Each structure stands twice: as structure tokens, then as C-alpha cells.
Structure 1
Amino acid sequence: MLKFDRDLFLKIVGKESLEKRGEIERAVDEVSANGFKNIFLIGSGGTVAMMYPFEYILKSNSSLEVHAVIAAELMVMNHRHLSKDSVCIFASVTGTTQETVAAAQYCKDKGATTIGFVAKPDTPLAQTVDHCILAPDEKHSFDTFFVYLQLLTFRFIHNHDEFPQYAQFAEQIANLPEGIVQAMEAFDSQAEQFAIKHKDTDYHMLVGAGNLWGNTYSYAMCILEEMQWIKSKSIHAAEFFHGTLELVEEDTSVILFKGEDETRTLVDRVERFAETITKELFILDTKDYELEGISEEFRKHLAINLNWALTGRISVYLERERNHPLELRRYYRKMAY
């Protein structure tokens, strides 16, 4: 597969990231033992999008109070739920994202407990938070962070006496990387054909819901817009019929992210509509992939990790077909703003 090292992925995501399980559990157990009132999931751009799936999981599987908040907005909105009794979770690959680092310090100044996922040690975010969980490498850092967030989220729910299956769940996560690799291999030619067909498409609609809404938002903004300079719009499936449907035409590219949680029916509804209008409907459905060793009851949660990895295959082929490196920027971190 283009720009993919199977052995490296399994080493980083399948082995080294899972070695952090004990560290994550100890951090969560300490916070739980000390007591807390609520959880804040905080990030900027792709990392706040990464938090949205776990806000959904917490809201739909636990009575714990949770807030997913954009870092820069948090610091100006006078959030009345943020206090010394809050636990605040952050992520930054470089550990230098300006707004995220500032928000971490802001939360610490409020007396909150802070936990950060970082891929580079000795960086501002790593040095600011109370508990820093390092990724093994910058490469595959988002895949690693998703594993960390699964363990962290469900450990909190378990400690709240709402997820007795935690041990089984955490053990099965060890099977996930191999299943993801097999799914990527199966999807690869489809990803390549999409990129070839759409290398000159100048606008995409992306639709998702539930725990895949964050991935939908992230792929539109952080990949298509930031990394490929392609105009896109992320639309929640539940809101699609309250405006966006009027823009669908015969040649409109509509990309559906289908997961396996309770909101799947919302995406099904968009699919039924879109297939009657556009000839450019593309569906990425996690149900199409086996994920050997993952129980049916856990698949819906781990669809987040799988969907993220599969979209990455589209990205590398868009990069090739458009001759547009994913690292290329005009403005981001290139100028003052």
C-alpha cells in the first residue's frame, strides 16, 4: 500500500501504544479516587474533533457530566461548570498548539486536574499537565491517541460503576490494530479509485453522526480543507434535511461515514435521499470490515478508530493524484494571525 508500513503500524499502535494501558488506568484511578464533578474534553482543530466521539460515548453510556470544548473558546466564555473539581483532557501531537497549551494552563489555574496526550516529550503541553501520556512516535499519533481515549473514557465509566466489561474491552483493544490493518488492505483499492475519480472535484459534502461526527468534521476541515485546499462541508446527518439537502445535485460529491452506534439510522436516511439525486455518492461503512477478536457489543465504539484509519488511505491517494503534499500550508503556522 502507498505510504504505509504494516509492521511499523503494528509496532506503534498495536504494541507500544498498548503498553500505556497501565499508566492511563493509574491516572484515571487516581482522579476517580480523589473525586471530581465533571470531565472536560478540550482541543483545537483536529484534536477537539477527536474529543467529540468520546463526548458522545460518555453522554450515551454514562451519567458522568462531560463537556467537549474548543480550547480558545473555553478561555473567553466564562464556563460556569469549569472548577477545581473538573478533570480536563487535552491532546496535541507536537505539544505546542498555542491555544491548547494556553487552555491547559488556564484549567490548572482554576485548580482543575489536567491530563494530556502528547507525541513529543519536553514540550509546553507535556510540561503543563498533571498527567502526561506520551505517544510512542509522532507517526500514527492520532491512531494512538484514539486508543488512549478509548481506554481513558471507558475506565472513567467503569470507575463510575457503569461499565463492568472494562477488562474484556481493554483486552480486546489489543486485537484492534491487526483488524484495522486488514481493513485498510481491503479498502485500499477503493480509496485509490476515489482519489483518481475526484482529484479535480472542488467541493465535497461529508455526512456523519453519533460517535463518527467528530471524524466527519475533522476530515472535512483538517484534511480536505487544510491539507488539500478543497472546499468541503461537514453536515450532521440529523441536520442534513434542515438546509443542506437543497444543494445536492446530480454531480455533487456526497461522502457518508456510517458507523455502528445508535445514530446509524440517521445516516441511512441521508443515504436513501442522496442515492436518488446524485451520481457521486461514496459510503464508508465500518460494518463492511470484520475486526476479528472484537465483540459485537464493542464494535460500535471502536468504529471511531477504524473509520479514522480508513480515511487516511483516501488522503495518501489524494496527495498523489493532486500532487499536493499533505504537509503543504500557505498560512497555518506560516504567518502571524
Structure 2
Amino acid sequence: MTVKEIVSAVKKNRSEIKSVYFVGCGASMSELFPGKYFLEANAKKLRVSIYTANEFIYSTPAAVDESAIVITCSLSGTTPETVAASKKAMDSGACVISVTHIDGSPLAVASHYQIIHGFEKNYAAKMEKMTLVLALAAEILNTYEGYKYYDDMEAGFGKIYDLIETAVSSSLPAAREFAEKYQDIPLLYVMSSGATQMVSYSFSSFLLMEMQWIPASSFHDGEFFHGPFELVDRDVPYLLLMNDGPTRPMDSRALTFLKRFDAKVTVLDAKDFGLSSHISASVAEYFNPMLISGVLRVYAEQLALVRNHPLTKRRYMWKLEY
């Protein structure tokens, strides 16, 4: 079923929805965030939350009932915590929509509706999960409350995949330079804001710490001047993800400070890839995460090549019981 068909079916069975919960683990939870961010920013009545799956299981919100939609997400559809959370939501009476790459997976089975996304074909396909979750959020909002920029969002969904591929194709030289510069780095700070704030978390926690065993930390640009900026010094390494949209002033303020003290800064700027030149400014901010994440994937792959450390290499994951 398409996103539109799913939400239409939900509406027929549940005329009133009061809450929407996004539930996942690790990178999948991060990829749910743009949908949550969009819905929270634009919904006037719907209650919106995001949970890591185990917390959802152990501390289930009281509002998870027949008036709730729970969106669960796992690439393989086998993440035990997320499958259990999906079952818990169903048992609580919520309408559960799973987002996974594998049709018929345990997560797909533990849901009322399934969104099956791509992954292998190209870089744009790797962003389908995040993009389809955003589309789902937009469809829920428009169906239950209405959304004046719905047509602009629809147009954006028709353009974002080609834009990702174009951005990726131009990024290889810069990605290679980044990999050469940072291959032996002892620590990297990753920063962003707005809809992209969890992309900085995802890149630091998963592509760096999990897949490259590089110590990393991430924080919101709006919080930078409330603690983290005390560590800024000459040649301290930062990766700043700059948004094309209303939270950009926070990104720019952070960049100005980093340059002031000669920190070693790499900037990935959605404006450089023409985001708002292709997607209406009314909704462009919500597409920053997909565009920047697509480019970051190239950066991670180049880092893996230079370091001779494949992104699939693990020390504990898939090797131990934990």
C-alpha cells in the first residue's frame, strides 16, 4: 500500500486520532525524527512523541490506545526491541504502521499496515525510509487537521530523490579530502539544528562510533553556547551540517564562533546543493535531513576506504549476546 492508501484506510477505521508516536532504535529512530519534527511543528491538535523502542516497552505512554497511531521502524524488520514495541502498541489498541525494507519480516507482521522501502539501488534509495516517514507524517496531518503547504510537500517528494543523486555525484572530491584529513582523528564533534539535528547524532553514533570505531559526540547548534563551546580551540575538529531554512541562523552563529578560534571545521551546507532552489521555501527545511544524509553516506564510505575499515565491520554487534 502507498502512504496515501494507508492513511486513508486508517481514517476510515479511526475517525479521531489524538496521538502519533514514532518508535525505533539507533539509526532507524534517527530516521524517524524528520517526520516527528514536521508533525510537531505543524500539528495544532495532534500530540507527537518519539521513543527509543525499549523505553516505549518499559515506560509505555498512557495515551497509547485506540486514538493513537504508532509508527515503528527497522531496516531489517528484525530489531528485537522494535518488534516487541510494535506488538505492545498493537496490544494497547493503537493503529501500528511499520516501516521496513523487508516485506514479511517480524516487524511487518507485527503491524496493521506496512511501508516497504528500498535501500540497495542508489544513495537516494538509502534515504527512502526517512523520506517515506516524512510523507506519512504529512499525510496524517493533512488528513486529520489539514495542511496549507501540502501541495508544496508533494512537489518536494517528487524532486528530492533526484536532488540527492545530483548532490552525491558532486561530493566525492570533498568526501575524499575529508577522509584523508580525518582518518586518524581522535575525536570528532558533529553539529546541526532543526530537522537535521538527529542526522548529526546518527552520523556520530553509528557511522563513526559503530561503523568506524571513531570516538564522536554530537549536539544541537542551539545548545552549543550553553556548554559545548568551552571545548573550542585551535585545530579541534568539527563537522557542521548547515540547514537551508529557518534554523540556519543557529548554524551560522556556531560557524562564526568556530572560525573565530581557528577550529578545524568541515561544513556540509544544504544551500550548496540547491535545496531551496528546487523545493519550495515553505517546506524546504523538512528535506534538509535527506539531502545531507545522502551526502554524508559518501563521506562515511570514503572514510572507510581510506582507513581500510569496512562499514560492515563490528566488534560486538551480531557477534555476541547482549
Which of the residues 28, 31, 47 maps onto 1:47?
A: 28
Q: Which residue of 2 aligns with 1:101?
A: 83
1:252 to 1:137, Cα distance in 2 relative to 1, 3 A = closer
SS at match of 1:241: coil
Match of 1:218 among 202, 208, 231: 202
Q: Secondary structure of 1:296's partner?
A: coil
Aligned 1:3-152 pairs, distance under 5 A: 23-33=2-12, 34=14, 35-63=16-44, 64-138=46-120, 142-152=126-136
TM-score by length of 1: 0.89
Alignment match, 1:187:
171
Q: Does 1:243 align with 2:240?
A: no
* 122-131 or 182-191: bigger deviation: 182-191
Instruction: Kindly indicate whether the alpha-carbon contact (under 8 Å) linking 2:304 and 2:310 is maintained by their aligned counterparts in 1.
Output: yes
Unaligned runs of 5+ in 2: none
1:15: which partner in 2?
Answer: none
Partner in structure 2 of residue 305 of structure 1: 290
**Off by >6 Å, runs of 4+ in structure 1:** none
Identity in percent: 27
Equivalent AA in structure 2 for residue 42 of structure 1: V
* Amino acid of the structure 2 residue aligned with 1:93: L
In the TM superposition, residue 137 of structure 1 has moved relative to its aligned partner by: 4.6
Residue of structure 2 equivalent to 1:17:
none
Q: Partners in 1 of 2:66 and 2:126 — Cα distance? A: 29
User: Hey, what's the Cα distance between the residues in 2 that align with 1:26 and 1:210?
Assistant: 29
In the alignment, residue 182 of structure 1 is paired with which amino acid? T
2:279 corresponding residue in structure 1: 294
Please list the CA deviations of residues 141-187 of structure 1 after superposition, one character each: whole Å capped at 9, or x if unmatched.
54111221121111112113431332443244222222211111222
CA distance in structure 1 between the partners assigned to 2:149 and 2:222 by the alignment: 30
Cα distance in 2 for partners of 1:334, 1:242 equals 39
Please give the alpha-carbon distance, in whole angstroms, between the structure 1 residues aligned to 2:75 and 2:62.
Answer: 29
Q: Distance in 2 between the 1:205 and 1:39 partners?
A: 32
Does structure 2 retain, via aligned residues, the 8 Å contact 1:251–1:280?
yes
Distance 1:328 1:73, change over 3 A: same
CA 138–115 in structure 1, closer or farther in 2 if over 3 Å, else same: farther
Q: How many pairs are equivalent?
A: 316
Structure 1 residue 331: Cα displacement? 0.5
User: Unpaired runs of 5+ in structure 1?
Assistant: 1-19
Q: Distance in 2 between matches of 1:282 and 1:137?
A: 27
